[in-house]
Every structure is written in C-alpha cells, then in structure tokens.
Structure 1
Amino acid sequence: MKERTVPMENVVRIETVLNFLNGWASPAYAEDWDNVGLLAGCMDTPVTKIMTALDISVPIIKQAVDFGAELIISHHPVVFREIKHLYGNHPLYHLAMNQMAAIAVHTNMDRAPGGVNDVLAKHLGLRDIYTAQNGLLRIGTLEKEMEPAELAALAGRLLDTPCGGIQWSDGGHPIKTVAVCSGAGGDYIEDLPDDVDAYLTGELHYHEWPLGSKRTFVAAGHYYTEVMISKEMAARLAEAFPELSIAVAEESCPYMVC
C-alpha cells in the first residue's frame, strides 16, 4: 500500500509554533536578562509531536524521545547562562544527540494574558483579577476574608505544596486582596499597591522578607506556583494545532521538604 503523504503546505514547522507562542506571550514581555524563544533546533523543522514542561532535564528529554516529539516547549530556558563546555550530562547535549528542538517561554509567559500568573491567580480562586502596573503581578480578591494562616494552608492545598513547604509571615489582620507572582517574586515587592493585604509568590530570599510588615507574605514554592503552565500550554497548542499530538511531561519538584 502506498504511504499517504502530507501536502507540504499543511506541514507544521517549528517557526509556525513559535509564531503562535509569540502571539500569546510576546518576547517583548521578557525581562532583559532572560533567554526566550528557540534555543535549540531549526525553524524549518517539521513537527508532528510536542511535549510541554516546566524544565528541560535529561529525564524529560527521555520522555520526549519515547513520545516521539520533535520539540519541547518549556517555561524555564534550557540555556540560561553562558556555556563554556558541553558535556554528556547537559540537557543541551541530549537535545542535540536526539535532534530535538527546544523553545522557552519564561518571563514573557509570566506577563502574558492567560499566562503563568493568570493561571496561578485563577488556581487560587481569586476573583476580579487585574494586572498591576508592572505588567507582571496579578491582583484579585478572595471569596471571603481569611486569616494569614488560613491563606497559607489554602495555598498548600490548592497548589499541592507538601507539608512543610509553605513559608509565610503574619501581617496581623484578615486578608481580602491578594497579589500573586509565580516563581521568585522578591524583586517586585516594591510594586505592590497599598491595598494589597497579602503577597503570594514562589520563593523569597531571607533578606527579602519584610520585617514588621502589616502585609502577609506567602512563599508557596517556585515549582508549585509555575508547574501548572505546562498543562495550559498543552491545551492551547492542542486547540491551535489539532493535527499535532501534544503531551505534558511528568515532572516533580527537584527537591524534597521534610
């Protein structure tokens, strides 16, 4: 039987997928220090299967190979700092060996409408969500006021952060208005509007915790505030490219909490 060939005009190429992602999360949204876009591979490579992930690690690449993917789309860039040596334990080496492409949508996806921070805010059940002036923070209201300890516990349940993985400080009064920032949000504390009762982010360094603040702070885990974007990306890609097979990588937090 003669094999069915796909007309060239119907072939989806990496450039087409990247253009779709750029239309959702423009590279102009990315921080100056970031590294987004096509980080490995060729624009004209045809694509039939894509895997989405928070990170690109060697085990994730193995999953993508088993799935038959030609492209991995991740939130965190596989190439972030200067690489002076490329050894066999580096994910980039394994991407090259398997002729697999990689696209990163990082801080541009944090800022994008419907991106990481919007998904996080909705996942926490916030209402009347709007974007702060810096374009990154999302601010919304809880269905009902709650105490700081209740907010910390709620975040742990909704984000599946393990027991002991939530850090929080008590602002000393009930919470109604909450600002969120996925990942490491310490740099944006100064951008919080005055009416925000609590700030939830992924992680805060020791000296970023404001001493004596009347605002509650919750650090719910870098991984746990971002990992849900993999499913959101997969859903949008499946809608935009129904002819492609899309899979979400099976991931876990790279560290344990006891």
Structure 2
Amino acid sequence: MITVNDVYEYIDSFAPFSSALSFDNVGTLVGDRNSNVKKIVCALDITKDAVVFAEKVGAELIVSHHPVIFDPLKSVCSDNVVYSLCRKGINAICAHTNLDAAPGGVNDVLCSLLDLKNVEAFEPENIARIGDTQDGSLAQLLNTTLIKLGLTNVNYVDCGKTPKKIAVIGGSGGGYIDEVISAGADTLITGEMKHNQFIEAKAKGLNVIVAGHFETEYPVIPVLADKLTKQFESVEVHIFREPAYNVFSR
C-alpha cells in the first residue's frame, strides 16, 4: 500500500524539499506520513473548494504547490482550511520554491509552453530560467503568451527592445529585476509585479510581460499529476483547478 511518506519521498527525489528557500514552508504540512493513500488530488492551492473536491472524490492526500500553512498559525478554527483538512482526515504535501527550481518544475514547464530554446537556470537560487525566443517582436511574444496560457489580456512594459533573451519566473518575479538584467535578459515573463516594479523595469530598459500568478504556475499541476500517476500506478490521481482570477490590461 502506498503511504503519504512514499509520495513525499518521490517528490523529494526530483524536487528536494531541502532546496526550498529559507522563508518557505514545504513538505508534509498536515496529516500522518504513515497514512495509506489510494487517491490524490493535485492543486495549485489548498482552498476550501479544493478540500470539498478532495472529499468528494475520496482522496486521502492533496499535493499542492502553495503551502497550506505559510504564516504562523495562532488558531485553527472552523473557518480555517487546516481545520477542514484535519477534520476530514485529508493529508497535505506542499512543494513550493523547491518545485519552482526543480528540473521539469514550474519554470521549466512555463519555458516549454512558451517554446523557449537553450533554457538555463540562473540566480536567484537557480529558480529563474533564461532562454531564447523565436518570436521576432514583443507583440509576437505577447501573442504567444496569450495563446499558450489561454489568456485574453496581460500587463506589460514595452521598452522598444526586440526580445531575444527571455527570463522566466513563474509567480512573483518582480523583485528580481536586477538579477534578470545581470543574467543578460532583455525581457522578463512573470506572474505578478508591484506598481513600483513596473516603473523600475521601464527605467532600466527591461521589457516585461506579467501574465498572472495563477496562470504562470498552474501549468505545472497537470505535469505533476502525470508524474504521480506514472510513479504510483495503483493510485488514482485527480486535478483540481480553482477558477482563475481575471488578469487586467495595463
């Protein structure tokens, strides 16, 4: 019988939990590592809806990207999703920045979707990726991003440069503008940025495409589910997709 710990150890084999950034909280965050697992739900976030879905399909384990416990908990009451997990006996494994950095993880999947070539990892902490685009203009790269991620609008900064070297940081990448430029990128594709970071990117001559936190990270979830399905043939793996939030033009 497959256990929670078996799933943990398998994920650890390709996305070591020890490689997570120091601020992060990853691993088996809720439950019993010795619990048997017949059904798994893969999700970007462990929300109340995700827990309801897991209970509906009879899953004993949710594997998510974002940690279900991140900030310290001062209480665990009925309105808290951790309470729901415990009450329903559903375990939780969370692979966050370790999955961002992993070969075949969040950023590699995003690079593959965007058809980038000669992709390499670079600092910070080898989470980010840089690769070559075949799109000959920012307009073409914007169109590729819209099509590949199933979007109608994105935020962007156009500095008048033809995109050649593309840095990719799924999720929150706005804090790494200097590192992206130092790596030789002329364009950054990421999930979200603060207002002042848009201004900073423009001032420093960096093209930016901001396509949504959910939208840039969710593509890894079906890939993760497929890996778990192939590794644990006796386990039924489901995917939960939370409705995406709107991405507005800038």
Change (3 A) 1:51 1:128: same
Change (3 A) 1:194 1:63: closer
Q: Percent identity?
A: 31
2:196 to 186, 207, 226: 207
Residue in structure 2 matched with residue 72 of structure 1 by the alignment: 62
Give the letter aligned to residue 243 of structure 1. S
Residue in structure 2 matched with residue 41 of structure 1 by the alignment: 31
CA RMSD of aligned residues (A): 1.5
1:190 to 164, 178, 191: 178
2:232 to 222, 228, 241: 241
TM-score (norm 1): 0.90
* Structure of greater Rg: 1
TM-score (norm 2): 0.93
Q: Secondary structure at the match of 2:133?
A: strand
Note the alpha carbon deviations across 1:200-226, whole angstroms, 9 max, x for none.
100011111223232211111000000
Report the alpha carbon displacement of residue 256 of structure 1 after superposing the two structures with TM: 6.5
Equivalent positions of 1:151-230 (< 5 A) are 151-163=141-153, 166-192=154-180, 193-209=182-198, 210=200, 211-230=202-221
Give the letter aligned to residue 213 of structure 2. H
Give unmatched runs, 5+ long, in structure 2: none
Residue in structure 1 matched with residue 6 of structure 2 by the alignment: 16
Give the letter aligned to residue 233 of structure 1. L
Q: Is the 8 A contact 1:149 1:170 kept in 2?
A: no
Q: Which runs of 4+ in 1 moved over 3 A?
A: 254-258
Note the alpha carbon deviations across 1:102-140, whole angstroms, 9 max, x for none.
010000100011100000110111111111143111111
Q: Is the 8 A contact 2:41 2:59 kept in 1?
A: yes
Report the alpha carbon displacement of residue 161 of structure 1 after superposing the two structures with TM: 2.6
1:143 to 134, 138, 143: 134
Give the letter aligned to residue 20 of structure 2. A
